[in-house]
Amino acid sequence: WSAGVFLGDSPFALKPIEHWGISADAGAAWPVANPAVTCADVAQSGSPSSFVASPFLFLQGGGIYMFFETKNPVTSQGDIAAAVSKDAGATWQQLGVVLDEEWHLSYPYVFSYNSKVYMMPESSKNGDLRLYRALDFPLKWTLEKVLLEKPLVDSVIINFRGSYWLIGSDLSSYGAKQNGELSIWYSSSPLAPWNPHRHNTIGSMDNGSSFRNGGRPFVYDGDLYRIGKQSGGVSGHSIKVFRVEILTANEYKEIEVPFVFDKPRKGRNAWNGARSHHLDVQWLPSSQLWIGVMDGDRVSSNDSVHRLTIGYMFYGVTLLLVLLLGGLIGAIRCTIPLRWCVPHTEKRDDFFHSKQQFFLKYKLSSLFSSLNKLGSLLGGRINYRTWKGRVYVVLVILVLIFLTCLGTHCIYGGNGAEEPYPIKGRYSQFTLLTMTYDARLWNLKMFVEHYSKCASVREIVVIWNKGRPPVQNELKSAVPVRVRVEDKNTLNNRFNMDEKIKTRAVMELDDDIMMPCDDLERGFKVWREHPDRIVGYYPRLAEGTPLEYRNERYARQQGGYNMVLTGAAFMDHGLAFERYWSKKAEVGRKMVDSFFNCEDVLLNFLFANASSMSTVEYVKPAWAIDMSKFSGVAISRNTQAHYHVRSKCLAKFSEVYGNLTAKRLFSSRGDGWDV
């Protein structure tokens, strides 16, 4: 579980913070992206954490404070932690755990009353509902009083039409339904005695009229709205909003209202791809916007159990195949001890019971005998001493290895998510650019469907050079896809200025290159560390007199590289495209048009010419498939001719722009990403 920040003109029009293009140079985030708070952030502040959930906001003194549940993996219980933002929710500073009891705490509902700040966390494991008062906000709290001797969960207090209302769920009551019922109390003050509603318990999930609280109620345009959790597992899996029509001591009525929220389509690669169960919204005067915080998880509640079950099923099938193979080659014989086959009893009363046992053992003996005969029969038909029999044995062994690997992956391989890498606890996004034309449409479809699910991809821009462009419904994508149709078929289009790009980082990626999302995420992290460089996956070394274009194998033999191909590379599009279309680059662009090649070589020279420092950096992909090998539309199928043209470009570019930067060594990073 993590927490994300959302902004909007109304509580019903919230967009994730990355939608607003807010940047944070300190975290190399252009723009800032969700999640805003993770368990890793809490752990770095000195408090062990395995997840964060149920965030609440409180505005005070020019800061936005976020209080949330954090689970301590050492004690296996929830504590209350806090963070503060001084820039309207763009970045958050962790304050650590602010409330820790001997029992589980969650749902830290924070509010003010008579100029004092109070917190009402869930403490149902202690059997009551407690109210704490801030002694030194937000770090120090003291118990004010026990409000109710009931184990209420997800409780809130609101001041509405002259009275205070406490709304929660008592799951310990007889017949209570998980997530499906509410209880209401009312009072003249949060500190005064509470009176139960006439119709407690209120609502039932059966008729869809009510759901367990999923955040702070809010007032918008004079109406009171309550946030609820839609049923799904222990804590729900999505959010519902209800407008409260009647709230009195004797009656309660609410109706569900539309709550349109753009659900993530990236599956478990999205931080909230599987479920969300909490939302808190506040009016932010400094920005004249509504700010909301929502928690989310990338996997379902039973994901680990499901993976364990599947993994052990694979192990079970593997064991059965081992027994079958052993019987086939005669290494395993099924037998039972002889003494099991002889009926015996010490007492006359045990005769009937002994007879039943003997019958079961007899049936087991018959089964083992049949299995042995089957093994002998198969062994006779498939003689493992012949070449044909050995092929069968090898195939079975390969299947065993495959099933064992699958089982091990399910149990120990994690949840399968390819998560982004933060810098200083902050995430960002980039735009993916690819250049193609009509003859490569089949490549483009695979490209878009695969890369649109990568966590940090904000948008895919297709640079369309020739032929009929695709329509939107031809491309299956989890992110927006924009097709930019060019007037002229030239490789220079790859670096055309584009004011519609919303991110600082772009990744230029040929549509015939397929690699895991994790490789893109690692490359993006490296670029965020050095945004003035070209960070790519295909290193090259140009050296000699005159300069000669060499491949990656040669570069590794020489121990270093001084170029990276921009067919798979990150860059600052404002910086790179401006250099490419400068007056200085005009000669190079004409050569690119002349050879229909070398646009990436030119950009490497332009970066090298602008700095005396290293301007390129390599990241090794876990694997990469060049799909052009399976088609006839690649421009570099004739490798020798392709390298010859590039060597010509090197000679000309070195005359015009000078030398490339000094050779950068492989394995220069501490994380081993460039080995």
Predicted pLDDT of residue 346: 53
Q: For the stretch 470-507, what's the b/e string if a residue is b when 16 or more beta carbons lie within 10 angstroms of its beta carbon?
A: beeeebebbbebebbebeeebbbbbbbeeeebbbbbbb
Q: How far is CA 332 from the centre of its chain?
A: 47
Q: Which of 275, 276, 345 is CA-nearest to residue 303?
A: 275
pLDDT band at 426 (very low <50, low <70, confident <90, very high): very high
Distance CA(430)–CA(414), nearest Å, equals 26
Domain 430-665 has CATH 3.40.50.300: no
| Residue 562 confidence (pLDDT) above 80 | yes
The pLDDT assigned to 368 comes to 60
2-299: what fold?
A: Tachylectin-2; Chain A (2.115.10)
303 annotated active-site: no
Note the pLDDT tens digit of each residue in 149-196.
Answer: 999 999 999 999 889 999 999 877 655 555 567 899 999 999 999 999
The whole-number average pLDDT for the span 243-267 is: 90
The 10s digit of each residue's pLDDT in 85-120 is 999 999 999 999 999 999 999 999 999 999 999 999
Q: What is the DSSP string of 290-316?
A: EEEEEEEBSS-TTHHHHHHHHHHHHHH
d(CA 393, CA 333): 18
Q: Give the pLDDT confidence score for residue 234 in this predicted structure.
A: 47
- Give the least confident one: 32-36, 138-142, 302-306, 524-528: 302-306
Please tell me the predicted confidence (pLDDT) of residue 396: 81
Question: What's the confidence (pLDDT) of residue 335?
Answer: 62
Q: Which of 600, 626, 671, 674 is catalytic?
A: 600
Per residue in 206-219, pLDDT (tens digit) is 544 457 899 999 99
At 556, which amino acid appears?
R
Q: Position of tokens 């009937």?
A: 352
User: How much of the chain exceeds pLDDT 70, in percent?
Assistant: 86
Give the pLDDT of residue 333: 60
What's the half-sphere exposure (Cβ side, CA atoms, 13 Å) at 42? 29
Average pLDDT over residues 532-550: 93
pLDDT at position 186 is: 95
First to last CA, the chain: 33
Distances (CA, A) of 596 to 448, 550, 599, 649: 25, 19, 8, 11
Q: Which residue has the higher pLDDT, 45 or 413?
A: 45
Q: For 39-91, how does the pLDDT look when each residue is reduced to its tens digit (9 = 90+)?
A: 999 999 888 999 999 999 999 988 999 999 999 999 999 999 999 999 999 99
Residue 622 has pLDDT above 90, yes or no: yes
pLDDT bracket for residue 201 (50, 70, 90): confident
* pTM: predicted TM-score of the whole model, two decimal places: 0.86
Q: How far apart are CA 53 and CA 67, in angstroms?
A: 9
Q: Is the pLDDT of residue 664 over 70?
A: yes
pLDDT computed for residue 210 by the predictor: 54
pLDDT single digits (tens) 329-375: 666 665 656 555 555 555 555 555 555 665 666 666 666 666 666 65
Query: What is the reported pLDDT for 611?
Result: 80
CATH 2.115.10.20 maps onto the chain at 2-299
With 50 as the cut, is the pLDDT of residue 630 above it? yes
Rounded Cα–Cα distance for residues 523 and 568 (Å): 10
> Which residue shows structure tokens 């099991």?
340
* β pairing state of 279-284 and 252-257: unpaired
Average of per-residue pLDDT values in the chain: 88
Tell me the DSSP string of 108-173: EEEEEETTEEEEEEE-GGGTSEEEEEEEETTTEEEEEEEEESS-EEEEEEEEETTEEEEEEEETTS
Residue 204 or 283, more confident: 283
Map residue 67 onto helix, strand or coil: strand
The whole-number pLDDT of residue 347 equals 55
Kind plus residue range of the DSSP H or E element containing 78: strand 77-85
Q: Do 534 and 469 form a contact (C-beta atoms < 8 A)?
A: no
Q: Which of the two residues, 237 and 409, has the higher pLDDT score?
A: 409
- Measured over the CA atoms of residue 88, residue 90, residue 91 and residue 92, the dihedral's sign is positive
46-50, 324-328, 571-575: the lowest-pLDDT one: 324-328
